[in-house]
Chains A and B, each alone.
Chain A
Amino acid sequence: AQSVTQLDSHVSVSEGTPVLLRCNYSSSYSPSLFWYVQHPNKGLQLLLKYTSAATLVKGINGFEAEFKKSETSFHLTKPSAHMSDAAEYFCVVSGMFSGGYNKLIFGAGTRLAVHP
């Protein structure tokens, strides 16, 4: 079975400092992994995805994530936080229904606050 754990429910950084949002996953096969972002009162937007190609994945808005199989981790980073990065971030692993259909398994989310 697949699962995902986001290690921090809240992260607070100052503008211009690095961002690290941590995610560990569990999967019985080689997974696809995603990070989504949700700004207040908005839907979820795909930031980036890993699908067994390069282990360092670059996404939108300067974010990137590194797939580390030995650590079962997929942490999200950004070198320099911007005020507009304040949002909720979800780490997601792909899974499968018993009927063979695709589904996504969401972490509980990490709320990122960015201070001036």
Chain B
Amino acid sequence: ETGVTQTPRHLVMGMTNKKSLKCEQHLGHNAMYWYKQSAKKPLELMFVYSLEERVENNSVPSRFSPECPNSSHLFLHLHTLQPEDSALYLCASSQDLPGRVGTYEQYFGPGTRLTVT
């Protein structure tokens, strides 16, 4: 509906597994974002890619590894996660102009509900 798709929608993984979340945007945008949404906590920005270059890594543990192979695709690789990493992971995109104060809204995907057991 928003032009941003995420797969899978639900994921259950053990602490020793390796998995990846995928995000694809069909809007022609040049910036993509990963957010974490936990219960009772504000939305947390994790990573930002602008023009396929990572421009923000918001103190995220190294067990989360992002990848942006092109402007339409964004991945979040997961390994040796902890139970506290269980959350809704949201991907978003925007049309961004570096160096300009943003008036540019972000469009969100439906999210991946991750449960770490």
Q: Point out residues on A near B: beta carbons under 8 Å.
A: 29, 32, 34, 36, 41-46, 49, 51-52, 90, 94-97, 99-104, 106-109
B105 touches A46 (CB 8 A): yes
Instruction: Decide: A102 and B108 in contact? CB cutoff 8 A.
Output: no
B105 close to A49 (CB less than 8 A)? yes
In Å, the complex CA distance between A51 and B102 comes to 9
A103 CA to B31 CA in the complex, in Å?
A: 10
Q: Are B106 and A104 in contact (CB under 8 A)?
A: yes
A103-B45, A103-B56, A106-B43 as given contacts; A44 in contact with B50, CB under 8 Å = no
Among the listed A36, A99, A107, which residue makes an inter-chain contact with B55, where contact means beta carbons less than 8 Å apart?
A: A99
A101-B109 in contact given A43-B90, A44-B90 (Cβ < 8 Å): no
Residue contacts A-B, CB under 8 angstroms, 26 given: A34-B105, A36-B108, A41-B111, A41-B113, A42-B111, A43-B4, A43-B110, A43-B111, A44-B90, A49-B105, A51-B103, A90-B43, A97-B56, A99-B55, A99-B56, A99-B98, A100-B99, A100-B100, A101-B56, A101-B96, A101-B98, A102-B102, A102-B104, A103-B45, A103-B48, A104-B102
Residues of chain B lying within 8 A (CB to CB) of residue A29: 101
Q: Interface residue tally of chain B, by bracket?
A: 20 to 34
Closest Cβ neighbor of B88 among chain A residues: A41
| Proximity string of chain B (1-20) to chain A, C-beta cutoff 8 Å, 1 when within and 0 when not | 01010100000000000000
Which residue from chain B places its CB closest to the CB of A32 in the assembled complex?
B103
In this complex, what residue of B is CB-closest to A107?
A: B42
Q: Are A102 and B101 closer than 8 Å at their CB atoms? A: yes
B4, closest chain A residue (CB): A43
Chain B residue with Cβ nearest A36: B108
Question: In the assembled complex, how far is the CB of residue B66 from the closest CB belonging to chain A, in whole angstroms?
Answer: 15
Give the 6 A-B CB pairs with smallest separation, nearest first.
A102-B102, A43-B108, A100-B99, A44-B108, A51-B103, A106-B43
Tell me, yes or no, whether B94 is within 8 Å of chain A by CB: yes
Residues from chain A with Cβ under 8 Å of B48 in the complex: 97, 101, 103
